[in-house]
Amino acid sequence: MAGGAPYIAALPLDAVGEMLNKLAADQGANTLQYGIGQGTLELRERICEVMALSGIDVGCGASPEDVVVTVGGQQALDLIARLFLDPGDVVLAEGPTYVGALGVFQSAQAQVVHVQMDADGLIPEALELAIAEVARSGRRAKFLYTIPTFQNPAGVTLTEERRERVLDICERAGLLVVEDDPYGQLGFDCEAPLPLRARRRDGVFYLSTFSKTFAPGLRVGWILAPHAVRDKLVIASEAQILCPSAFAQAAVATYLSTMPWRQQLKIYREVYRERRDALLGALADYMPAGTSWTEPGGGLFVWATLPDGLDAKAMMPRAIAARVAYVPGTGFYADGTGAGHMRLNFSFPPPERIREGVRRLATVMEQETAMREVFGTVGTPSRRRGQAGADVPGPDLA
């Protein structure tokens, strides 16, 4: 339950294989050649159709001209960092946040200041406080990085009311917003709220990927950027990779043009809903007292908070010995705190394996608690530490 891999076997792999064979045979002379830095027009047009399904349409200023195709969502993050961040700059991000984004920002030598969340997502008052604290230090945050829908790792979704407040706060502060939305079309219980980019045209960069809704192995993502920045992103991408894979782009464009991808989204939602329910049911049945967890309405992850005194990172070797894996919460904070939490993935393993994995994990936690009661422990893992280093309550995500 450690990874974030989609369940690719849910795809009609025979049909996809035939599509790829035909693509190579019919268009190989073009699709196996170099391409252009921005990405093919055909794919950018299909991407606009995909975004329209989430509410980002031409009325919101979405245009193929302002789409930049990237090598997955990870390159999209890296391009944003290259364009805006200098060493010592500040990035605001939810706490916890996506580990891959932290790697990008740290590589750019930026400081990540976490903004607290609860079960309703990013807390607007905490965002205002973070902006003010950064300003008092004599600096200014470059942008807010946020995953507002089915967040990774917490699984929570920013509410409708908070979306407007967050956008208002950022607008007043002159703060750019980088909206990462890999999971927005994977809602189980209801339609996801409109993305931030569907609400405001200016000052919002929208990032997404086909890794969670089609095939991560093709490594195709995109950025919808404000028009004035588009050319700079293309230049930065060309400097990195010259051009994205023409074959991978053609594969995605052909899939979107010729195959029932909307129906496939429904299949993924049904598969992941069943696995989410299996995980939540197993947690309720097996977890020891004092454990809490989020209940995501979509996406791939549940965020669990351990009983007081347990350290997810220290406990990892015992879990591996029991042949169960998770990601310790420390990976999702820039300062390495979060030891009292873990991320659990439910998209890849089947329901019966999920249930067995939780049973094993609960046994490991009970053994760890028993050992600590007998032998004691040196200190208690911090749930989270404030920017000045003082202990503060961890994110109320239960």
Q: Once rounded to an integer, what is the mean pLDDT over residues 131-148? A: 96
With tokens 């979306």, the residue in question is: 163
Q: How confident is the model at residue 377 (pLDDT cuts 50, 70, 90)?
A: low
Question: Each residue of 164-213: pLDDT tens digit?
Answer: 999 999 999 999 999 999 999 999 988 899 999 999 988 999 999 999 99
- Alpha carbons within 13 angstroms on the beta-carbon side of residue 52 total 14
- N residues, the chain: 398
Q: How confident is the model at residue 156 (pLDDT cuts 50, 70, 90)?
A: very high
- Write the CB contacts of 174 (distance below 8 Å, at least 6 apart in sequence): none
Question: Each residue of 74-98: pLDDT tens digit?
Answer: 999 999 999 999 999 999 999 999 9
pLDDT higher than 80, residue 276: yes
Of all residues in the chain, what percent carry a pLDDT higher than 70? 94
Question: Each residue of 231-244: pLDDT tens digit?
Answer: 999 999 999 999 99
Q: Give the pLDDT score at 297.
A: 97
Bridging pattern class, strands 176-180 and 90-95: unpaired
Q: Give the pLDDT score at 397.
A: 56
Closest CA to 205 of 240, 170, 239: 170
3-class secondary-structure state, position 217: helix
Cis peptide leading into residue 193 (ω within 30°): no
Distances from the Cα of 270 to the Cα of 230, 267, 298, 365, 379, angstroms: 36, 5, 10, 31, 43
Q: CA 191, 197, 198: angle at the middle one, nearest 5?
A: 55
Q: How confident is the model at residue 390 (pLDDT cuts 50, 70, 90)?
A: very low
CB distance 196 to 177 below 8 Å: yes
In this predicted model, which residue has the larger pLDDT, 379 or 272? 272
- Helix H or strand E segment including 91: strand 90-95
What is the residue type of 332? Answer: F
Copy the structure tokens of residue 391: 């202990």
Lowest mean pLDDT among 26-35, 126-135, 341-350, 380-389: 380-389
pLDDT higher than 50, residue 348: yes
Question: Each residue of 43-67: pLDDT tens digit?
Answer: 999 999 999 999 999 988 899 999 9
Closest CA to 195 of 231, 240, 169, 158: 158
- What is the C-alpha separation between 105 and 112, in angstroms, rounded? 7
Q: CA 295, 283, 156: angle at the middle one, nearest 5?
A: 15
Question: Each residue of 287-345: pLDDT tens digit?
Answer: 999 999 999 999 999 999 999 999 999 999 999 999 999 999 999 999 999 999 999 99
pLDDT higher than 70, residue 389: no
Alpha helices in the chain (DSSP H): 13-31, 41-53, 72-84, 99-107, 124-136, 160-173, 227-241, 246-258, 261-286, 312-321, 351-375
Q: Give the pLDDT score at 385.
A: 36
Closest CA to 71 of 201, 238, 205, 225: 238
Bridging pattern class, strands 221-224 and 67-70: antiparallel
Q: How confident is the model at residue 227 (pLDDT cuts 50, 70, 90)?
A: confident
Closest CA to 72 of 179, 154, 182: 182
Q: Give the pLDDT score at 140.
A: 87
Copy the structure tokens of residue 26: 């019919």
Q: What is the residue-averaged pLDDT of the chain? A: 93
pLDDT higher than 90, residue 267: yes
In this predicted model, which residue has the larger pLDDT, 6 or 373? 6
Handedness of CA 302, 190, 184, 350 (dihedral sign): positive
- CA diameter of the chain: 69
Q: Give the pLDDT score at 36.
A: 95
Q: CA 74, 75, 81: angle at the middle one, nearest 5?
A: 95
pLDDT higher than 70, residue 393: no
